[in-house]
């Protein structure tokens, strides 16, 4: 008998259910007897023993279903060693639940913070397998995370829809795309949607350069322009501040978001008519795209294979289109940033896309 626990942690995305389905189908194909325990609301369920025993039928028909049948919650890694409001030792509580259920392995579907906790539990002696979930595609060690392509598709569709109204009215449109620390979604959606300017956290922008790019288009007879802006985009002035000052500045914004600040700056510079669109959490919602369904199924099958081999403490990853795994410790605590030198950035520049930095 194999007893496997599963949880989905952090922000949700479209392919969580598809990935769990892949794990379970792989397990049922590998072992005669399997019990699956799903922890509700992520690590919170593991801490407080809130779980349910799942049957094969629970994973039927969920390949195309977005969100997560287990629910999720954010449990910051930096607080994992701190007692809860009632003085409970969180790490000990999670280990106790694991041992109470006599689990052979815990499968964690989550992003950077979730995998840091997964690595912590692995170091504490639990058998853990990580699966790379995040729409941001910022998990170090994998070329792709599940959820990313679905988010890109939605963000691209938003830009596509903006094109027609922008062209009709001859306006500048700013589409603010998710990505607090990294700009992968904005970069991919911006290129796919034909954005004229792409602003991402890794390449601080100069508003004068942004306006210069808009002026250049206007002089070429272009009636409209579209900016794809990551929610974490920052100006060169802010980026140059000492870390404490920058953190304080970002913690007390004068605008609802960076897109509105940039809009005001563009208006002040040249008087162009500017509109802001924020797709927001729609980028996390809906059904997973076909690419993510395939990727999630492959990831799930690999997790089942690792469990069969009793190869624990691993994170399933995609490398050069091959699904493999790396130690959780190699990825934990590291973010995969967009480098200004990445070929995709250089390709975009060759296409005439401005990053607002020159």
Q: Which residues pair with 130 in a beta bridge?
A: 108, 315
Find all residues with CB under 8 Å of 95, minimum gap 6, and list them: 121, 124, 125, 126
Using CA atoms, how far apart are residues 298 and 313, in angstroms rounded to an integer?
A: 19
Find all residues with CB under 8 Å of 32, minimum gap 6, and list them: none
- The strand order across the sheet containing 314-319 reads 51-54, 34-39, 2-8, 105-110, 128-132, 314-319, 322-327
Residue from 136, 153, 196, 292 carrying the catalytic annotation: 136
Using CA atoms, how far apart are residues 32 and 42, in angstroms rounded to an integer?
A: 27
The phi and psi torsions of 240 (rounded to 5 degrees) equal -80, -10
Phi-psi label, residue 352: left if phi above 0, alpha if psi -120 to 50, beta otherwise? left
CB atoms closer than 10 angstroms to residue 167: 14
What is the chain's alpha carbon radius of gyration, rounded to the nearest angstrom? 22
Using CA atoms, how far apart are residues 9 and 139, in angstroms rounded to an integer?
A: 14
User: How far does the chain reach from its first CA to its final CA, in angstroms?
Assistant: 61
> Is 136 known to be catalytic?
yes
Helix (H, G, I), strand (E, B) or coil at 222: coil
> Quick one: tokens of 113?
């913070």
Active site residues: 136
């Amino acid at each position: 008998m194999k007893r496997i626990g599963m949880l989905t942690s952090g922000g949700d995305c479209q392919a969580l259910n598809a990935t769990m389905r892949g794990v379970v189908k792989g397990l049922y194909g590998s072992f005669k007897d399997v019990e699956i325990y799903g922890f509700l609301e992520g690590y919170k369920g593991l801490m407080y023993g809130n779980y349910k025993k799942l049957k094969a039928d629970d994973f039927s028909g969920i390949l195309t279903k977005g969100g997560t049948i287990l629910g999720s919650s954010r449990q910051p890694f930096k607080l994992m060693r701190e007692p809860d409001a009632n003085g409970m030792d969180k790490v000990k509580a999670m280990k106790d639940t694991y041992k109470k259920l006599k689990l052979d392995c815990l499968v964690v579907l989550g992003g950077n913070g979730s995998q840091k906790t997964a690595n912590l539990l692995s170091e504490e002696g639990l058998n853990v397998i990580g699966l790379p979930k995040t729409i941001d595609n910022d998990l170090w060690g994998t070329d792709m995370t599940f959820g990313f392509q679905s988010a890109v598709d939605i963000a691209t569709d938003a830009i596509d829809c903006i094109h027609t109204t922008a062209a009709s009215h001859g306006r500048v449109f700013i589409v603010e795309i998710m990505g607090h620390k990294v700009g992968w979604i904005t970069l991919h959606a911006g290129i796919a949607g034909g954005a004229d300017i792409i602003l991402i956290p890794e390449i601080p922008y100069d508003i004068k350069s942004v306006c210069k790019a808009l002026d250049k288009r206007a002089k070429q007879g272009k009636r409209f322009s579209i900016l794809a802006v990551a929610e974490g985009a920052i100006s060169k002035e802010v980026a140059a501040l000492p870390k404490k000052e920058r953190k304080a500045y970002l913690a007390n914004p004068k605008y609802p978001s960076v897109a509105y600040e940039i809009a005001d700056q563009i208006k002040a510079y040249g008087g162009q008519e500017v509109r802001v669109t924020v797709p927001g959490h729609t980028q996390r919602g809906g059904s997973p795209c076909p690419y993510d369904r395939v990727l999630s199924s492959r990831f799930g099958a690999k997790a089942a294979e690792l469990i069969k081999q009793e190869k624990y403490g691993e994170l399933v990853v995609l490398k050069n289109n091959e699904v493999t795994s790396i130690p959780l410790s190699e990825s934990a605590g590291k973010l995969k940033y967009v480098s200004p030198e990445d070929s995709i950035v250089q390709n975009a520049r060759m296409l005439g896309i401005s990053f607002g930095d020159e």
